[in-house]
């Protein structure tokens, strides 16, 4: 799987979403980060913040493009606030055992209900 900010993987669902080939409800569209509503929401607000460049997980993004990771975190806060939430959870599932199913890094922004700990 490619791991560069310029690479786009034709088989990657989130690359296809970034390219506009798969319809989503976009809530943010920037040069480096997009955000859209999760198709299977686990909270009243459940958004995904996704870098335009293809990186398989958050550690790979941090190593390759720390500025994009910083922007992704900032956009996570921005989209939560825009939906009226000062409190939110930002989750990066990393690897199948941790629940990652799409291997193009994305932060889950979850808000609007009391969160429990530990997560399941």
Catalytic sites, residue numbers: 106
Is residue 3 exposed (0-12), middle (13-18) or buried (19+ Cβ within 10 Å)?
middle
Minimum distance, C-beta of residue 25 to ligand AMP, in the bound complex (Å): 8
Burial 63-76 (b: 16+ CB within 10 A, else e): eebeebbebbeebb
**Residues near ligand AMP (CB under 6 A):** 13, 22, 24, 38-40, 48, 93, 99-102
Nearer to ligand AMP, 11 or 40 (CB): 40
Minimum distance, C-beta of residue 6 to ligand AMP, in the bound complex (Å): 22
Which residue, among 108, 94, 92, 86, has the nearest Cα to 37 in the 3D structure?
A: 108
Residue whose pair of structure tokens reads 């809530």 in the numeric block: 27
Nearer to ligand AMP, 18 or 68 (CB): 18
Minimum distance, C-beta of residue 24 to ligand AMP, in the bound complex (Å): 5
Nearer to ligand AMP, 58 or 68 (CB): 58
């Amino acid at each position: 799987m490619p791991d560069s900010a310029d690479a786009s993987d034709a088989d990657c669902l989130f690359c296809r979403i970034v390219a506009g080939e798969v319809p989503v409800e976009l809530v943010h569209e920037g040069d480096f980060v997009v955000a859209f509503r999760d198709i299977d929401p686990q909270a009243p607000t459940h958004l995904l913040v996704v870098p335009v460049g293809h990186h398989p997980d958050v550690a790979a993004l941090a190593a390759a493009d720390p500025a994009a990771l910083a922007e992704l975190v900032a956009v996570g806060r921005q989209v939560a606030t825009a939906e009226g939430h000062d409190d939110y959870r930002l989750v990066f599932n990393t690897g199948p055992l941790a629940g990652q199913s799409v291997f193009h890094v994305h932060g889950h922004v979850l808000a609007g209900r009391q969160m429990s700990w530990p997560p399941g």
